[in-house]
Chains A and B, each alone.
Chain A
């Protein structure tokens, strides 16, 4: 495992990675479109360990979402394989929770009913999870808003609600698809800090897709940088920032320099 990490520019002894949970092996996805086949993801390989926070960063349309959907079992791969805890991912798995672009709340349900939606689909009794949900609502500052409808909540509140919905049934893996992309910069910082807080509390394994290098550097243990379509793994970057992370770190020389490196890497592959 350590040999893989050698490819990173900031090598730093990738502190003995904990037990591997997700293995992506030469994942390839071809979509059949009206204008012919489209190679979205080209033999992408990576491993993600227990409790790790991994960000996938790349330009729009590089196949980040495709990768995430393959991980979640929503989309089958054209070739290659994905395994979670040793078993191949062939469809949605109960240990996975997804957070989508936009908040993706159901507008005809109030906040509480949105949060209980996974339980309804899974036909799972929510009673044992009540205190957990209440705690989550308090952590994200939504206690007291249980009866509000999505349209009565701000964009940030909606996205916080979708975090609670994802964590409500205690999945061990969180797959997040540019969840804060539509929020303004300040709300986004706030959401990043909140997510880090939830992560340090609950130690989920997180795969977080974003097109913001700053967001990725700020949160991740490790960044998978992708090339533009077809999506390939350009490089793996281990982030050497202490935790807990603070907003001030974003102006540290290390942060600025690494962000620049990743940006150049992506730009270089755009030109090719």
Chain B
């Protein structure tokens, strides 16, 4: 890595500027580039439409007397959420524990692996097929095996979440670290920068937008895996509640649980969206 500058013919034009030279085969950047309300008027219109949609559903369900087990009314779901919140609270805690635990392990390993592996092209080529295998295989499929090995506690689920998050973070971060810009490295080098300085002053900032995308997508996959593992493993967690309520045909409570899961997902999304806005907005 330190010597990559040394023997390259210095021909720099616009096309070598910091741009995604290849985005890899999984491009999730669209997620960080959603349009947001520009002013109060737009905001009111967006909220207004949402209110109308929910109200219309409520009215239609009541008017046609749709049975509860087919689709509960929004008001019923809201009531169920309020009434069952206390019972659901420990399950929320369990799901969050699995999610945060698995996420921290997976994301840390993913970023570190991406940073190291992209320095050695051959190592990257060797390792990539396995990463693709991990990205494309649903980690849920491994849960029964993990339960067999690790028991019925939270451990198998944390491992499953980490296995889902890690490769996703890694593959996106690697795309970021692969975006080199020789002119900017040459700039730092001309001031006498060492390899470490070039890494954290040039390479890391260039990679950051893609790392944030990876962290966001990883979070979404992590939540999916956590809930899925709970549905398979049973016992505690929001996923297990979904199975429980649907088996009793308590559809209002079932949808209330989904609402909680959705809120966790949206919260993660918003956090990374804001992080991206703050730290990666230069890449517009």
- Taking Cβ atoms with an 8 Å cutoff, the residues of A that contact B are 31-33, 38, 40, 61, 65-66, 69, 72, 74-76, 91-92, 94, 96-98, 100-102, 104, 106-108, 117-118, 120-122, 149-151, 182
Contacts and interface: CB of A to CB of B under 8 A. Distances in A.
B14 A96 contact: no
B188 A107 contact: no
A102 B12 contact: yes
Contacts of B6: 75-76
B253 to A, nearest CB: 47
Q: Which 3 residue pairs of A and B lie closest in terms of their CB atoms, listed nearest first?
A: A121-B191, A108-B282, A98-B190
A268 B58 CA distance: 85
A116 B9 CA distance: 28
Main secondary structure of the interface of B (DSSP, over half): loop
Interface stretch (B179-187, B214-222, B265-273): B179-187
Contacts of B280: 108
A79 B60 CA distance: 84
B183 to A, nearest CB: 5
Main secondary structure of the interface of A (DSSP, over half): mixed
A121 B192 contact: yes
A91 B5 CA distance: 12
Given A102-B14, A102-B17, 13 more contacts: A32-B7, A69-B186, A94-B192, A98-B190, A100-B187, A101-B13, A107-B283, A108-B282, A121-B188, A121-B191, A121-B197, A151-B282, A182-B14
Interface in B173-208: 183-184, 186-193, 197, 201-202, 205, 208
Interface string B37-61: 0000000000000000000000000
Contacts of A100: 12, 183, 186-187
B11 interface: yes
A120 B71 CA distance: 61
Contacts of A182: 14
Nearest to A166: B190
Contacts of B187: 98, 100, 104, 106, 117
16 contacts: A65-B11, A69-B10, A72-B190, A74-B10, A76-B6, A94-B192, A98-B186, A100-B12, A101-B183, A117-B191, A121-B192, A121-B197, A121-B201, A149-B282, A150-B282, A182-B14
